């Protein structure tokens, strides 16, 4: 055991991080395997089916497609995390933005590219607007953003239902269509691979890149991260905490606004309570945690989730309930946060021990 | 105006009922205080109440619990499954155990491994939502009436009863008179309303509901009148001090979270067994979060939670039974605000008086201007109310001091 520790002790920090994530995923697969076994299913067969179907060309494209909203949602959550803000409200923000953007896009007419750009901008603005309520409540009244965004998620749903039922529903078809009016072709984003992968995927990748640029490479990002790590130290060095909260929350909401855009401008060309996918706000939290708020990690985690999701239809056909895929995802996140915590504690102790050893050596030398 | 404690309580109960009565006679909406409405309100309040108490137990021992919804989901599933297999009472027991499973997961993650308490709660909600889907796939698919999103219907229910003497209940086979119902039917000012409310609370009661309401005094007694309760609350207020005095903070947080999970599970069980007769996906419908809101609303105290849950349950009940009467609630608010303004004048508190007059004018305008309140907007009332309370009365709220702060034995300085 002591020998093993020495091996790990010598590893550089990023390798330990990567290793711990792998351990967490294996642990989760083990737990879910056990669950499958207990419930009378063959875990080996299930995992083999997942791998065999997932690694075919079409399924890999589906994986990319499914990763789009996850990358966006995870980036939105991660920006908050970096500032020590927990935006649970991505769910409400993106759905609200989807409705507003879809309605906006169906009402304007503009040349092809501009139409899409305007729609995306409106979506971002709507998401940021909804997030700004939580930001304002936090800055002016000191309300914890966790509570306020949870409440705002529900308020968002009822406001949307009211807007949709009374003002935005398409009633041209005798009330048969339960969506907003369809967006004109100029506002539709074409597929990269026909029927398999939509152009919005590139937008998502670009947003993750921007996330990296803003948070890890800009002066603003430095301030954001230092406020997140130690808000009082940051404030002492002249960073206005309240301003950072508002800006971070607005950015988070702006990215969140884009989450459903693949569906709105790439697939359905409208918003609809049934047509627009829900649940990505919470899935995004999971992906951000799995990817440890790092852009590369977010992309990888979104791909992993997309990969698992893409296999679920085939899994059902081979006699294994496809809901196991979602269970695996949830368990992965649970084990990842637990292992992360254990790793962080280990790294702290290691740093302390190594520093102490270095100091001792220094003294002996002197 | 100085009133004794008892007189104040009496006023606190009597005045709103009198106002309700005035509103009822004015508008002719009997639905406001009818026993049907109150009965429905009670049924809708209990799951919220228990969810709120679940939050209270967790936060009092020092752990935030965003995962109430997930624990409730476990409760609905295990309750629905247990009741279908073994009858309603064992079903409720399974619901509690299912909720405790959720509490245990949350405890292992947050207390044992110090995972961020909010993250753990969010993940628990996801896990519960998808976990029960998997289990439904195995247990319910292919059964008559069952499927991936619902269980087969239960064949028996928790017995219901009327309270004897006042609500016409049976007493050893003798049918006692139904005093309250005849009083309610009279429609007299105040007495009719009071009778309606009491009759709603005492007729066709399920034992499951009674046990749920009993959790309020039980929680109060355990947390504020026993040694265990004092220690448990001290782990939420000042774990280091508690540890110094020999309290096992870690163990108490496990206890608190298991109780929390059990209460949330029971809340779920009520939904699957008492309020309906089968498990259905999405049965909790965000009530775990309303429970969380209720806990804040009730200032982390059992009586406060009861008040919040009654309020939210009542608005739901009015919506369900007498939707047309919703707009008359504005009239009630307007009258209540006028009363508060008068009291402010008597007490010479100017700001409060101005606010009350302002609220009264707005509510009166709303009552006159709004024909019917859109159903979609009334749904968000509990959430909106919580935000308003947090924004206006946060100085008066007193959450447990160290709720949300991870605690490791021996790492305090």
The model's pLDDT over A89-122, given as tens digits with 9 standing for 90+, comes to 999 999 999 999 999 999 999 999 999 999 999 9
Q: Angle at Cα B347 formed by Cα B341 and Cα B349, nearest 5°?
A: 70
Q: Report residue B219 CA to chain centroid gap.
A: 13
Selected residues 266-295 of chain B with any CB under 8 Å from a CB in chain A: 286, 289, 292-293
Strands B170-171, B174-175: parallel, antiparallel or unpaired by DSSP?
A: antiparallel
CA distances, A9 to each of A1, A13, A15, A351 (Å): 12, 9, 11, 10
pLDDT, tens digit, for every residue of A206-231?
A: 999 999 999 999 999 999 999 988 88
Q: Angle at Cα A259 formed by Cα A47 and Cα A128, nearest 5°?
A: 145
pLDDT of residue A124: 97
Does the pLDDT value for residue A252 go beyond 50?
Answer: yes
* B128: confidence class by pLDDT, cuts 50, 70, 90: very high
Going by the DSSP 8-state scheme, the letter that residue B163 receives in this structure is -
Q: Report residue B334 CA to chain centroid gap.
A: 26
Residue B173, C-beta contacts closer than 8 angstroms, at least 6 positions apart: none
Residue A286 resides in a domain: yes
Residue A74, C-beta contacts closer than 8 angstroms, at least 6 positions apart: A284, A285, A287, A288, A291, A298, A301, A302
> Which chain A residues have a beta carbon less than 8 Å from that of B293?
147, 151
**Percent above pLDDT 90 for chain B:** 44
Nearest C-alpha neighbor of B334 from the set B353, B351, B359, B312: B359
Residue A29 resides in a domain: no
Which residues does residue B170 pair with via DSSP β-bridges, in sequence order?
B175
Domain of A302, in residue numbers: 42-320
Number of helices and strands (H, E) in chain A?
A: 16, 2
**For residue B118, is it left (φ>0), alpha (ψ between -120 and 50) or beta?**
alpha
Integer Cα distance of B148 and A300 in angstroms:
31
Q: Do residue A150 and residue B289 have CB atoms under 8 angstroms apart?
A: yes
pLDDT of residue A287: 95
ipTM of the complex model? 0.90
Which residues does residue B169 pair with via DSSP β-bridges, in sequence order?
B164
* A272: confidence class by pLDDT, cuts 50, 70, 90: very high
B130 touches chain A (CB under 8 A): yes
Q: Do residue B394 and residue A141 have CB atoms under 8 angstroms apart?
A: yes
Q: Do residue B123 and residue A152 have CB atoms under 8 angstroms apart?
A: no
Q: Do residue A334 and residue B130 have CB atoms under 8 angstroms apart?
A: no
Q: Are B253 and B235 in contact (CB under 8 A)?
A: yes
Burial class (CB in 10 A: 0-12, 13-18, 19+), A317: exposed
Residue A63 resides in a domain: yes
Residue B170, C-beta contacts closer than 8 angstroms, at least 6 positions apart: B161, B162, B164, B176
Nearest C-alpha neighbor of B402 from the set B64, B62, B60: B62
pLDDT of residue B18: 87
pLDDT of residue B127: 94
Integer Cα distance of A171 and A165 in angstroms:
10
Whichever domain contains A296, its CATH number is 1.10.3470
Residue A342 resides in a domain: no
Does the pLDDT value for residue A39 go beyond 50?
Answer: yes
Length in residues, chain B = 413
pLDDT of residue B350: 80
pLDDT, tens digit, for every residue of A74-97?
A: 999 999 999 999 999 999 999 999
Q: Report residue A113 CA to chain centroid gap.
A: 26
pLDDT of residue A1: 41
Q: How many domains does chain A have?
A: 1
Average pLDDT over residues A268-277: 93
Going by the DSSP 8-state scheme, the letter that residue A321 receives in this structure is -
pLDDT of residue A5: 60
**Percent above pLDDT 70 for chain A:** 97
Residue A6 resides in a domain: no
Which residues does residue B280 pair with via DSSP β-bridges, in sequence order?
B150
A158 touches chain B (CB under 8 A): yes
Domain boundaries, chain B: 33-162+204-308, 322-396
> Which chain A residues have a beta carbon less than 8 Å from that of B372?
none
**Percent above pLDDT 70 for chain B:** 99
Q: Do residue A142 and residue B394 have CB atoms under 8 angstroms apart?
A: yes
């Amino acid at each position: 055991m002591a020998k093993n520790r020495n091996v790990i002790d010598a590893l550089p920090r990023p390798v330990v991080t990567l290793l711990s994530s792998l351990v967490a995923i294996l642990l989760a697969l083990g737990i879910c395997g056990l669950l499958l076994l207990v419930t009378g299913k063959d875990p080996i067969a299930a995992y083999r089916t997942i791998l065999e179907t997932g690694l075919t060309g079409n399924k890999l494209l589906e994986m990319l497609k499914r990763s789009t909203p996850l990358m966006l949602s995870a980036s939105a959550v991660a920006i908050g995390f970096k500032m020590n803000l927990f935006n649970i409200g991505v769910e409400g923000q993106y759905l609200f933005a989807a409705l507003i953007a879809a309605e906006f896009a169906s009402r304007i007419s503009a040349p092809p590219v501009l139409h899409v750009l305007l729609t995306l901008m409106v979506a971002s603005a709507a998401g940021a607007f909804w997030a700004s309520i939580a930001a304002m409540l936090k800055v002016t009244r000191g309300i914890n953003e966790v509570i306020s965004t949870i409440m705002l998620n529900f308020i968002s749903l009822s406001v949307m239902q009211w807007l949709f039922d009374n003002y935005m529903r398409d009633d041209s078809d005798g009330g048969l269509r339960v969506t907003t009016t369809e967006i004109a072709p100029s506002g539709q984003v074409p597929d990269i691979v026909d029927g398999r992968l939509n152009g919005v995927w590139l937008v998502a990748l670009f947003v993750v890149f921007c996330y990296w640029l803003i948070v890890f490479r800009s002066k603003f990002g430095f301030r954001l991260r230092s406020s997140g790590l130690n808000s009082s130290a940051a404030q002492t060095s002249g960073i206005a905490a309240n301003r950072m909260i508002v800006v971070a929350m607005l950015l988070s909401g702006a990215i969140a606004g884009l989450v459903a855009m693949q569906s709105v401008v790439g697939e359905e060309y409208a918003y609809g309570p049934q047509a627009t996918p829900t649940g990505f706000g919470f899935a995004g939290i999971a992906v951000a945690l799995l990817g440890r708020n790092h852009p590369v990690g977010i992309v990888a985690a979104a791909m992993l989730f997309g990969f698992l999701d893409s296999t679920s239809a085939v899994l059902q056909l081979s006699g294994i309930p496809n809901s196991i895929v979602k269970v695996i995802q949830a368990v992965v996140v649970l084990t990842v946060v637990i292992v992360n915590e254990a790793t962080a504690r280990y790294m702290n102790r290691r740093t302390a021990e190594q520093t102490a050893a270095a100091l001792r050596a220094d003294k002996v030398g002197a | 105006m100085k009133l004794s404690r008892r007189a104040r309580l009496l006023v606190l109960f009597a005045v709103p009922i009198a106002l309700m009565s005035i509103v009822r006679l004015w508008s002719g909406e009997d639905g406001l205080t009818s026993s049907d409405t109150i009965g429905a309100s009670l049924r809708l309040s209990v799951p919220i109440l228990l969810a709120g108490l679940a939050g209270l137990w967790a936060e009092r021992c020092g752990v935030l619990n965003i995962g109430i919804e997930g624990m409730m989901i476990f409760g609905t599933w295990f309750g629905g499954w247990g009741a279908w297999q073994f009858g309603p009472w064992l079903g409720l027991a399974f619901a509690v155990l299912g909720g405790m499973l959720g509490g245990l997961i949350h405890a292992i993650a947050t207390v044992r491994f110090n995972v961020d308490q909010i993250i753990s709660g969010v993940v628990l909600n996801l896990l519960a939502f998808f976990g029960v889907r998997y289990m439904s796939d195995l247990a319910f698919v292919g059964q008559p009436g069952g499927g991936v999103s619902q269980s087969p219907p239960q064949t028996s229910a928790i017995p219901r009863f009327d309270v004897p003497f006042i609500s016409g209940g049976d007493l050893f086979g003798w049918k006692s008179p139904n005093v309250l119902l005849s009083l309610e039917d009279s429609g007299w000012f105040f007495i009719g309303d009071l009778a309606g409310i009491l009759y709603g609370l005492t007729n066709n009661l399920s034992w499951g509901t009674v046990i749920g309401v009993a959790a309020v005094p039980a929680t109060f007694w355990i947390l504020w009148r026993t040694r265990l309760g004092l220690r448990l609350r001290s782990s939420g207020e000042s774990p280091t001090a508690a540890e110094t005095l020999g309290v096992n903070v870690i163990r108490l947080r496990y206890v608190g979270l298991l109780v929390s999970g059990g209460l949330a599970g029971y809340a779920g069980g009520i939904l699957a067994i008492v309020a309906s007769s089968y498990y259905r996906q999405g049965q909790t419908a965000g009530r775990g979060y309303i429970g969380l809101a209720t806990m804040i609303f009730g200032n982390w105290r059992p009586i406060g939670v009861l008040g919040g849950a009654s309020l939210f349950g009542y608005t739901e009940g009015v919506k369900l039974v007498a939707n047309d009467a919703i707009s008359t609630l504005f009239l009630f608010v307007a009258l209540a605000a006028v009363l508060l303004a008068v009291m402010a004048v008597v007490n010479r508190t100017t700001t409060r008086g101005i606010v009350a007059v302002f609220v009264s004018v707005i509510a009166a305008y709303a009552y006159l201007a709004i024909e019917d309140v859109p159903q979609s907007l009334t749904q968000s009332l509990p959430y909106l109310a919580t935000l308003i309370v947090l924004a206006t009365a946060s100085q008066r709220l007193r959450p447990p001091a160290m709720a949300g702060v991870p605690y490791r034995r021996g790492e305090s300085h």
